[in-house]
Amino acid sequence: MISKTTIPNYKQIYIDIIKTKFPEKMEKCASLLHKADLSQIDIIDLNNRIFEGRDKEIEKLNQRLRSYNISSIKKILDYQKKYKYNNSQLANHFGLSRNTVTKWKKMISEHNV
């Protein structure tokens, strides 16, 4: 019986993509692929390393399909504090909307998640 919470093996997916289409980028992605578990931020980073220079329209469409768990949201907000980014800078860096960042900050502060 397959569980509804089955998570795709992103590590294997990206290894296969690199081996078949972008073998020259294996060294560039090796540090992330050697991790035991990939976070959502690692997956975004891998995607950017492999498909750098993509069309902005495609990137915008793909952004709509992303979802983030609480730990990833906290890491993104910690990144903001570490580099002293405002909401706009953080949103641009991670390809988010400013409203999403504001919503996350409100959610974290209200629920002490």
Q: Is the pLDDT of residue 86 over 60?
A: yes
On average, the pLDDT of the chain sits at 85
Q: How far is CA 34 from CA 12, 30, 37, in A?
A: 11, 6, 9
Give the pLDDT band (50/70/90) at residue 59.
low
Give the pLDDT band (50/70/90) at residue 49.
confident
The residue whose two tokens read 């069309």 is 55
The residue whose two tokens read 């891998």 is 46
pTM exceeds 0.75 for this model? no
pLDDT tens digits, residue range 30-39?
A: 999 999 888 8
- Tell me how many degrees the CA angle 68-57-27 measures, rounded to the nearest 5: 65
Which pLDDT belongs to residue 67?
A: 81
Which pLDDT belongs to residue 79?
A: 92
- The CA distance from 75 to 44, in Å, is 13
Q: How many helices (H) and strands (E) does the chain have?
A: 7, 0
